[in-house]
Chain A
């Protein structure tokens, strides 16, 4: 598997939010606007990549029996670092993300990638795996944030996109809107996934049919 494949799978076929349904808490909590979603996306991208690198470096020295506590300690350290950096240089982002920034520690996706990928691979593939998963997460976050911000106040990153007379349902930026939007999006991704599977199936059948024809003509 080349690095591009490793990178790409996190964005589409194994998208952390829509396909794996991991780390859902932040996907709902900080996606009421695009800015927060983007901030959270970057934080997670950084933490997951850094954690994958560290885990792949220390994996030979960690006894498999105590790997989970070790991983969690590594993640908690990286998150603390991230928080201190944000607090120092981007206090605004830190304030917006608040508690959810600290809770990055227990995101299932980060621990899952350490366990599934970084524990078994060297540094470079682990880096691309982390980056791909992080980008997939960030893209999904921004996507949800964009839908909610457009339908709610009718803005994008704070700029008025829809006409000012647009009086969107307030509920989109409140808690229930988050659940509804993600529920419908998961449905949409399922439809796309099914369609792709069907196309692949048709292609495979066409290919086998062509193969049969070739075999017959050869016979």
Chain B
């Protein structure tokens, strides 16, 4: 149990995907302009990341390894995740149009996102078992949510600040993310990966 807790906390804080490994930055900077959108995005990424990592683990261990097709893992994972997200989009659209209105736009963005592809690849490289893969994926998703929600809160406050003209928008967002990364650097080494 302790092992899983360490893995989870490590993925959320110490090895935070956005701030220490730079994955999922496109969404991180694109969506963090508004807090409510960031909360939705964080939740969507966490849930899809968990499910798609579980799927990828099953395919990797029961199809790719037995048939010696490990070198195809990039192609297979990409298609698997894009297909799953597309499927989810159709299902949600059919059964819950309100939910689709809220989340539909994020689903499209998530389909080709570094985090969602990166975590299954890391799980495969580390040789995690099924439970560990799922815990690692869920932790990474929560870590992404924490980072994007913090960032959105900061950026909403930033609207009242007097930012130099040339840094407005993306420039100051990067510097802000740098400050955030600096504070997360304080956790580094607490849980070795």
B68 touches A (CB below 8 Å): no
Can you name the residue of chain B whose Cβ is closest to the Cβ of A75? B78
Interface string of A22-36 (1 = CB under 8 A from B): 101110110000000
Contact B79 A25 (CB under 8 A): no
| Min CB gap B114→A, angstroms | 5
Contact A25 B23 (CB under 8 A): yes
A105 touches B (CB below 8 Å): yes
- Residues of chain B within 8 A (CB-CB) of A208 are none
| Bound Cα distance from A102 to B73, whole angstroms | 10
B125 touches A (CB below 8 Å): yes
Q: Which B residues, 33 to 89, have Cβ-Cβ distances below 8 Å to chain A? A: 71-72, 74-75, 78-79, 82-83
A86 touches B (CB below 8 Å): no
A174 touches B (CB below 8 Å): yes
Contact B22 A28 (CB under 8 A): yes
| Bound Cα distance from A102 to B118, whole angstroms | 8
Q: Number of contact residues on A: which range applies?
A: 35 or more
Contact A183 B173 (CB under 8 A): yes
A171 touches B (CB below 8 Å): yes
Secondary structure call for the A interface:
helix
Can you name the residue of chain B whose Cβ is closest to the Cβ of A177? B178
Q: Which B residues, 102 to 140, have Cβ-Cβ distances below 8 Å to chain A? A: 112-114, 117-118, 121-122, 125
Contact A186 B171 (CB under 8 A): yes
Which of A24, A28, A80, A188 makes the CB contact (< 8 A) with B75? Answer: A80
In this complex, how many residues of chain B approach chain A with their Cβ under 8 Å: the count is: 42
| Min CB gap B179→A, angstroms | 7
B191 touches A (CB below 8 Å): no
Q: A80-B75, A99-B121 are in contact. Are A179 and B24 (CB under 8 A)?
A: no
- Residues of chain B within 8 A (CB-CB) of A184 are 171, 175
Interface string of A65-103 (1 = CB under 8 A from B): 000110011001101100110000000000000010011
| Bound Cα distance from A76 to B74, whole angstroms | 6
Can you name the residue of chain B whose Cβ is closest to the Cβ of A103? B114
Contact B112 A106 (CB under 8 A): yes
Can you name the residue of chain A whose Cβ is closest to the Cβ of B30? A21
Contact B121 A179 (CB under 8 A): no
Can you name the residue of chain B whose Cβ is closest to the Cβ of A104? B74
| Min CB gap B42→A, angstroms | 18
| Min CB gap A8→B, angstroms | 23
Which of A25, A76, A176, A186 makes the CB contact (< 8 A) with B185? Answer: A176
- Using a CB–CB cutoff of 8 Å, the interface residues on chain B facing chain A are 19-26, 29, 71-72, 74-75, 78-79, 82-83, 112-114, 117-118, 121-122, 125, 164, 166-167, 170-179, 181-182, 184-185
Q: Which A-B residue pairs are the 6 nearest by beta carbons? A: A183-B174, A179-B178, A183-B175, A180-B178, A187-B171, A176-B181
User: Could you give 25 example pairs across A and B, Cβ below 8 Å?
Assistant: A21-B29, A24-B22, A24-B26, A25-B22, A69-B79, A69-B82, A72-B79, A73-B79, A76-B75, A103-B114, A103-B117, A103-B118, A108-B112, A111-B112, A175-B19, A175-B181, A176-B182, A179-B174, A183-B172, A183-B175, A183-B177, A186-B170, A187-B164, A187-B167, A190-B167
